[in-house]
Amino acid sequence: MRIAVFGCGYVGLTTAVGLAEIGHQVTGVDTDAAKIHSLQNGKVPFYEPGMQELLARNITEKRLQFSTNARLAIQKSDVVFCAVAAPSSRKSITDLSAVLKVASDFALYSDSEKIFINKSTVPVGTSDEIARTIRTKQTKRTPFFVVSNPEFLREGHALKDFFHPDRIVIGLPEGSAANANKEPNRLKLTMRRLFRHVAKNGIPLLFTSLRNAEIIKYASNAFLATKISFVNELAQFCEKAGGDIKEVTNGMRHDPRIGIHFLDAGIGFGGSCLPKDLGVLLRTGKTARVPLRLMKSVKDINDAQPFQVIEKLRKKHPRLNGKKVAVWGVSFKPDTDDLRDAPSRLIVDKLLKLKARVHVFDPVALGNFKKIYGARLEYGKDAYDILKDADALLLLTEWNEFSSPDFKRIKKLMRTPLIVDGRNVYDPAELRAQKFIYSGIGRS
């Protein structure tokens, strides 16, 4: 199929590269000319494992191209994906201007029947607004369909999630959603062709209404966020009650009703999705006059969670003024250089406020961190480089390379052998045996 993907961020680029890889003819479109230029030259503008190779291959094999020309991309495509940013701001619950601009372009340039598939995370009712926009802006009555196809990929695993998703949710306009699971119709068949790699592997394509699809996206992220805040709150209880959250969650996660994933206590959830989507859900709830009390608690727990690390640090160093604090890992999770809503930033801001000397190292995100903090921090060449005479080491992102470090070397380098393990990576008994002062999250 001939496909245009608008927006070349994490979701858009993964969609474009993935669809090209399974044989479709894809054009990635973005208004950022520098980004398009870099993609045309086979360069991925962010860190995502495996993306570089697949991008280069699909460009060379002529299934994938990039352009800033919306008109041409729309006219030569049967399907237009919208994966542009829909940020949350103080003024509006979600800024839909980029999404509605793609809808307007679609209306203006579409010259034959086409499908508009929205992948941007947008509040419930937006697909209807997209359809209204297209209808209003059209000069001719060219037939079209609006479909909602929320994305569930995780940064750091984006391609893996594209090729092996748990499910594909497809919200169809009224009329086509009815009986779509029983009775094949044209739209449903097209969606199956589009995602044939998934359908052929037996992964479910779940057809539903537009609004349900939109709600499923928020509900899924909010549920994941709830699991994390649940364990983070339980971690505080474990600390006081003489337990270890790691062992407690191990004892829970084998129950399939609870599930094995997203039960790791830590410094709180960050990234561009969970915090934003939870915020949007809360604000939409307010508009709908539904208080969403549980969601509010999930957010409150998460807002406070990063500061646990500071509390633990201050148990040993009540005054952090002038203390050297070494930080391992700043990205919001491993395998990404993304710092959006990264809890590390709240922690580093607080340390700077308390006048600590902060030295950081991250295997991938250091360059981006430097753009934010500049000369206010010291940046290490490697993990050990920042440990000399350090008064504490904070582990904030569980990159693989931090999982089995040379503790003897660490001990020799540090002035005070204090490790605050924000991700519960290390074995407390082993570290205490090596005479470290160890503090994890939820481990008494």
Residue numbers at the binding site for ligand UGA (CB under 6 A): 121, 151-155, 221, 224, 228, 262-264, 266, 269-271, 273-274, 332-333
333, 325, 336: which is closest to 266 by C-alpha? 333
Tokens of 360: 């950081």
CB of 110 to ligand UGA, least distance (A): 27
Which distant-in-sequence residues (6+ apart) come within 8 Å of 220 by Cβ?
Answer: 150, 152
State in Å, rounded, how far the first CA of the chain is from the last one. 57
CA distance 275 to 280: 9
CA distance 190 to 177: 14
Strand partners, 172: 209
Q: Which is nearer to ligand UGA, 166 or 183 (CB)?
A: 166
Which distant-in-sequence residues (6+ apart) come within 8 Å of 36 by Cβ?
Answer: 8, 28, 29, 30, 66, 67, 68
59, 17, 56, 262: which is closest to 159 by C-alpha? 17
SS3 379: strand
206, 212, 220: which is closest to 277 by C-alpha? 220
Which distant-in-sequence residues (6+ apart) come within 8 Å of 422 by Cβ?
Answer: 266, 267, 308, 309, 343, 347, 394, 395, 396, 441
DSSP string, 3-33: EEEE--SHHHHHHHHHHHHTT-EEEEE-S-H
How many C-beta neighbours within 10 Å does residue 139 have?
Answer: 7
AA identity, residue 270: G
205, 193, 164: which is closest to 23 by C-alpha? 193
Length of the chain: 444
SS3 336: coil
How many C-beta neighbours within 10 Å does residue 93 have?
Answer: 18
Tokens of 384: 């050990």
The yes-or-no answer on residue 273 being catalytic is yes
Q: Which residues are part of the catalytic machinery?
A: 273
